[in-house]
Amino acid sequence: MKSLNKKLKHLFIFFTLFNIPLHSAEFEINFINAFDESSISEVIQELKYENNIKDIKIFLDKKKWIERYEIKRNFFKPSSINIFSRKPIFIWNNNSFVDKEFVIFQKSENSTFDSILSINCPRSLLDDIFYFVQNPIEISENSLVSIDYNSVEGWVFQYEQFQAKLGKNLDNYKFENLSKTMEYLYAKRKNPSIVDLRSNAGVALKYDK
């Protein structure tokens, strides 16, 4: 009889361990490749008291900056949520991020970034500029700082040491021409502030006084 009671007790413990309701779980949240402290804080604040896995998934699925997530159930230590962040390649119109998969997601108001490319243009032109951002042509070791489009000048590319005006139509020929022009000028120790390639007649240069 004692042996039977002992076996029943073990079975009861086993059954209890594997039938813990999901809402009783406690989660440790881990962020992988996270870049935005404001978005991280929002998730932590929202989930720190949330134990229901279904509600957690609904919340995380709404966050476009999250590329994917993993929820791991553990019984002898805190369960965990691993959140993998999308990595933006530029800021669009000062209020959205765009990643390498061309996924657009909202930039939080408190986000601050100094080293990421800024692009300002209408949505109808975003596809075109995305190609050139994904396939950059090196311009005499000058890093690209920002890209702006306006109806008068067209595309204006701001590099670290100069500005390039490329007009309303972009193509590889213009970038190759720009690259060769800058290599030639730097070899001659000339540093223009503006390189204008809008005219088919040639390249116009402007130097700061």
- Whether residue 24 is predicted with pLDDT greater than 70 in this model: the reply is no
Q: Are residues 92 and 117 in the same domain?
A: yes
- In this structure, the answer to whether residues 77 and 117 fall within a common structural domain is no
Residues 49 and 116 in one domain: no
- For the ranges 42-46, 134-138, 185-189, the lowest mean pLDDT is seen at 134-138
User: E strands within 5-59?
Assistant: 27-32
Is 139 inside any structural domain?
yes
Residue 172 pLDDT exceeds 80: yes
What is the per-residue pLDDT across 121-169, written as a single tens digit (0 to 9) for each? 999 999 989 988 887 777 877 888 999 999 999 999 999 899 999 999 8
Residue 116 scores a pLDDT above 70: yes
Q: Cα–Cα distance between 1 and 187 in angstroms, integer?
A: 97
Average pLDDT over residues 26-45: 86
- pLDDT value, residue 66: 94
Decide if 160 is inside a domain: yes
Q: What is each CA distance from 132 to 30, 74, 147, in whole angstroms?
A: 34, 46, 11
Residues of the chain with pLDDT > 70: what percent? 84
* Rounded CA separation 45/42 (Å): 5
Q: What's the average model confidence in pLDDT over 39-66?
A: 89
The H-or-E segment that residue 114 falls in is none
Residue 51 lies in a domain: yes
pLDDT of residue 114: 66
Examine the fold and report which residue of 59, 85, 111 is the final residue of a domain before the chain moves on: 85
Contact 202, 188 (CB under 8 A): no
In a domain, 12, yes or no: no
In a domain, 79, yes or no: yes
101 and 78 in one domain?
no
User: In terms of domains, do 158 and 132 share one?
Assistant: yes
Same-domain pairing of 149 and 188: yes
Tell me whether residue 3 is in a domain: no
Which of 67, 85, 103 is at the close of a domain?
A: 85
pLDDT at position 92 over 50: yes
Residue 13: pLDDT band (50, 70, 90) is very low
Asked if residue 188 and residue 137 are part of one domain, the reply reads yes
The answer to whether 165 touches 154, Cβ cutoff 8 Å, is yes
The pLDDT of 183-195, averaged and rounded, is 89
Whether residue 140 sits in one domain with residue 95: yes
Residue 93 sits in a domain whose CATH number is: 3.40.50.11690
Q: Which domain holds residue 185?
A: 88-206
Both 137 and 189 in one domain: the answer is: yes
Q: How many CB atoms lie within 10 A of CB 124?
A: 7
Residues 172 and 100 in one domain: yes
Percent share of the chain, pLDDT over 90 = 40
The rounded distance, in Å, linking the Cα atoms of 182 and 192 is 9
7 within some domain = no
Residue 205 CA to residue 153 CA, distance in Å, equals: 15
Number of domains in the chain: 2
Q: Is residue 43 part of a domain?
A: yes
Q: Are residues 98 and 114 in the same domain?
A: yes
- Out of 85, 102, 123, a domain closes at 85
Calpha distance 68→62 (Å, rounded): 11
Query: Residue 2: pLDDT above 50?
Result: no
Residue 74 and residue 94 share a domain:
no
pLDDT band of residue 100 (cuts 50, 70, 90) is: very high
pLDDT in tens, 71-88: 987 777 678 899 999 999
**Mean pLDDT for the chain overall:** 82
